[in-house]
Each structure stands twice: as structure tokens, then as C-alpha cells.
Amino acid sequence: MKNIVIKTTPSDNVAIVANPLGLDRGAVVLDGIVLEETIPMGHKVALQSLQDGDEVIRYGQVIGYANQRIQAGSWVNERNISLPQPPNLDAIPYVQKNVSKPEPVEGYTFQGYKNPDGSAGTKNVLGITTSVQCVAGITDFICQKIKRELLPRYPNVDDVVAFTHSYGCGIAIDAPGAIVPIRTIKHIAQNPNFGGEIMIIGLGCEKLRPERLLPTGQNPADSSILYLQDESFEGFGDMVEGILQLAEKHLQKLNDRQRTTCPAADLVVGMQCGGSDAFSGLTGNPVSGFAADLIVRAGGTVFFSEVTEVRDAIHLLVPRAVDATVAQALKNEMAWYDTYLQQGMADRSANTTPGNKGGGLSNIVEKALGSVAKSGTSPIVDVISPGEKIRKKGLNFVATPASDFVCGTLQLAAGMNMHVFITGRGTPYGLNMVPVIKVSSNSKLANRWHDLIDFDAGPIAFGTKTIDEMGWELFSLILDVASGNKQVATDKLGLYNDLVLFNPGPLT
């Protein structure tokens, strides 16, 4: 294989080594640049000599400053560049643009489960919500019992899923931050894949009353709430029997659901990164962004999230807001999270993991510039605070922490029915409430994890396929998976992560 390095824009003064085995000292790249040292795959080579304090540019943006002299052909990494300051939120202007609407994408459908509220499911799942961690043990026990004894009688129901968590008691229930976990639990129960069949198990003495988790306006007397402290229960066996009877009522209704033809406009797709590398911003994220644009053009909804992974690229996102209100909402979410990190005496540099650095990402600025590519190019129509539900179709910024599990949890609460997860280093992450399409940013990972990766975006790095071509392929795969025609790896293998609440409120 010839020596391949990737330069993203003409102004870049670093390039990414694409060769799977890296490049050895003495290798010649581009216009006769000789490598001064061996550089691993995904890592940066200096295309010109840099002096202490010079800008290091990738994606046409400053990702750092040289903190020593760096000779052309040298390895550029987190040790020889300094982190720049984040964009000043108050200094980012917003000027509304007259953007021509892209040509609609019409005629695309999937076979989904239509719900009375107009949403559509991609799975048919019995969801069991809990109001307090105390009931987690019995809820998990019941789930296994339902799977063994009840589900075989209801062939149209895909699974039973319990949302257990560490919230509900020992909490300052009325503190401002408490609204985040409360509305998250409430809105997950309304996820389209649950078909409106909301079932809540509580203890009885918790601060978070199960009634607060019902959809607005729903009468608690008409709802499926069961308290384990109910005095009618004589021991554990009675509790189990009571929950099974309640579950069976919901299973009967869910079993009547049938897949029907739904327009692609019913897709609600969450885009997320995890275990990113230097190829993520070149392959996996741009391909996902192209697919995101197709979904929006078809009338559907797409989320992108992870505040700390867009904060350093916020100056590129604010101009994409559909109006001044959305632009300000974007900046408000960034400012709120800045304060949150300051209160915890953390800084944004903590985001970049050892794995990210091992994959060639030197700092959070470089990571953020690649991360936002998965949002595509569509206008941002709304900003959703943590735990809230979406209000508008189109491209939404759903504010979440960057943690994979917390981000996935909050995207479920926002209403996603499909998940696209892009990784460069690899992760077995999966969710049992929605299908998770795992996209690899490089073919080396896809080949090694052949039974865990669903879609390999790696060919883009070598020019054998284009972003547009692979974007259409990913869009088609999303429709096939949403229809139940194809099964993602995590569903085949039964690999699912626990959901994790974001709780910025105090404990008591």
C-alpha cells in the first residue's frame, strides 16, 4: 500500500496518517515531506515546520498551538500542542440567512408501529418504568419471568424492558436540578416503541411519586401504577403475581399492534459518537451527517447532542440556527454546562479520553470539530434541554452530557425511535429500547469487530467510496432496520447497556 495521509482543507498544516499499520520514520508523503519519526494510524504529521506558539490547523480551524518547535514530518499530538480557549459565547454573532430549502426526498417509507399520538415505533416493546431504585431488584426479577412465561404467548411483542435507575428517594425533590431526572423518567415511558402502554412500579414511600411520571392530563386512577407497599400484598409472591397480571393487560394490547407502512417523516434518529478517533470526523460522522440531511429532507427528525463535544465548535453551529431564538438557546445550553462544569471543578479538557488520544485526537477542540459533522448541514430548528421531549420535526440539538449512556438515555427521553452510533475505537454499546446501528469510522475496526459493527464508513478514507454514496447506503440501512427487515448486531447478540440518568440536583 502506498503512503497515504489525509489533509481536510487547503489551509491545514497537519494531515492524518491513513495506513492501517501507520508510517515508519523516513516514509515520504505528499510533496516530498519525510517523516521524522514513526507515526501511528490516525495520528497527525506536521506538513510544515512550526515554531512555539504557531497555530495548528485541521478542518481549516485552529485546534491548538505548538508549545515547542515542531519540524515538518514530525508527529503532532497532545504533548506538543496547547489547548486554545473555547469560543466566547457572547462574541458569537447571529445573522439570519435566507437559505434555500433543499429538494425534498420523497417516496421513502418503512414498516413501523403507528401510535395514536401520530408517532411511530420501530420496535414493539413492553416498557416497565420504576419510580425509585428500591424496586429495581424485583423489577429485574419480573422482567426475566415475563420473558420466560408470558412473552411466548404474545408473538408480536419484541421484548420487555425495565427502566431501573438510582433516583427517587434521598433526593431534594424540589431543587431546580431535580427537574432533569424527573422529566427524563417521565418521557422515556412515552417513547414511541412502547406504544403508549405505560406501566409504573413504585415502592410507596419514595419522594418521587409515580403520579408525577404520567403523561400530562392522564388520570392516575386510570393508570397502571403498582405500589409494592400496597397492604393487599401478602409477601413477595403476591407482589410478583400483581405485577404479572398488570403486565399481561399491556401485553394483550401490544400484541395487537401490527407493522404498517409509515413515511420516512416518522423517523426520529439520534446521532451519537463513542470511542471516537481521528477518522470519525472524516468518515463515520460525515456519512451519518449526510444521512441526517436525507432524513430531514424526507420530513423526519434527527438529534445531535453531547454539549462538551460541540462546545468548541459552537461558532460553526450558531449560524445554522433557524432563527435568533434558537441561536440564543444554543448559547444558553453551552453557558449552563460551562457553569455546571465549573461547579464540579472540572474543565473541558477532561472530555478527551485516553482512547481518543490513542486514536489520534489530541484534544477536545479537534474532537468537537469532527463531532459536529454528524449533524449534517440542515438548519437547527430547535434546542431541547436535558430530559425534554422534541417539539419540532427537523434537526434538533438535544442537550446532553457526552457520556454514551447518559446521552443515549436523554435521547430516548426526547423521543428517538432509531439510534446511529459512530465509533472509531470500538464499543459494544447497545440499547434494548431502540435499534442501534453501529458505524465504524475505519475499516481496521470493522474487520476486527466484524460481528459487532453494522456499517463500515472506512472506504471513504481511501477514496473507494464517497460520503454521498455511503450516506445513501446508511439511509437505506436505517429504513431496513426500522422496518424489522434487518437486525443490528447488538440485538442479535443481546448486548444492552443500562440507562443512566443525568442528575445535576443535590442528594439529601
pLDDT reported for residue 220: 78
Per-residue pLDDT band at 217 (split at 50, 70, 90): confident
When the pLDDT of each residue in the chain is averaged and rounded to a whole number, the result is 95
CB 306 within 8 A of CB 401: yes
pTM of the predicted protein model: 0.96
More confident site: 309 or 220: 309
> Is 191 a residue whose pLDDT tops 80?
yes
440-489: pLDDT as tens digits: 999 999 999 999 999 999 999 999 999 999 999 999 999 999 999 999 99
CB 201 within 8 A of CB 260: no
Q: Shortest CA distance to 128 belongs to which of 212, 244, 222?
A: 244
- Alpha-carbon distance of 269 to 474, in angstroms, equals 12
- Alpha-carbon distance of 396 to 382, in angstroms, equals 5
> Is 308 a residue whose pLDDT tops 90?
yes
> Is 221 a residue whose pLDDT tops 80?
no
pLDDT reported for residue 1: 75
pLDDT reported for residue 508: 84
pLDDT reported for residue 20: 95
> Is 504 a residue whose pLDDT tops 80?
yes
Q: Shortest CA distance to 120 belongs to which of 251, 292, 272, 259?
A: 259
pLDDT reported for residue 278: 96
pLDDT reported for residue 488: 98
229-273: pLDDT as tens digits: 999 999 999 999 999 999 999 999 999 999 999 999 999 999 999
Sign for the pseudo-dihedral over CA of 354, 359, 360, 366: negative
- CB burial of 416-447 (b: ≥16 within 10 Å; e: otherwise) equals bbbbbbbbbbbbebbbbbbbbbbbbbbbbbbe
**Residue 33 Cα distances to 80, 357, 483, angstroms:** 19, 24, 50
- Residue type at 310 in one-letter notation: V
> Is 505 a residue whose pLDDT tops 90?
no
pLDDT reported for residue 348: 79
Strand 159-163 to strand 125-130: parallel, antiparallel, or no bridges (unpaired)? Answer: parallel
> Is 325 a residue whose pLDDT tops 90?
yes
pLDDT reported for residue 218: 85
| DSSP three-state, residue 238 | helix
| DSSP three-state, residue 254 | helix
Alpha helices in 175-255 (DSSP H): 179-188, 236-255
pLDDT reported for residue 392: 97
CB 477 within 8 A of CB 471: no
More confident site: 222 or 88: 88
Per-residue pLDDT band at 72 (split at 50, 70, 90): very high
pLDDT reported for residue 358: 95
* pLDDT average, residue stretch 147-151: 96
pLDDT reported for residue 350: 82
Q: What percent of the chain has pLDDT over 90?
A: 93
> Is 100 a residue whose pLDDT tops 80?
no
pLDDT reported for residue 216: 85
Asked which of 291-295, 342-346, 356-360, 420-424 is least confident by mean pLDDT, the reply is: 342-346
Q: Shortest CA distance to 246 belongs to which of 226, 276, 227?
A: 226
Read off the C-alpha cell for 133. Answer: 431504585
> Is 74 a residue whose pLDDT tops 80?
yes
Read off the C-alpha cell for 315. Answer: 461558532
Per-residue pLDDT band at 102 (split at 50, 70, 90): confident
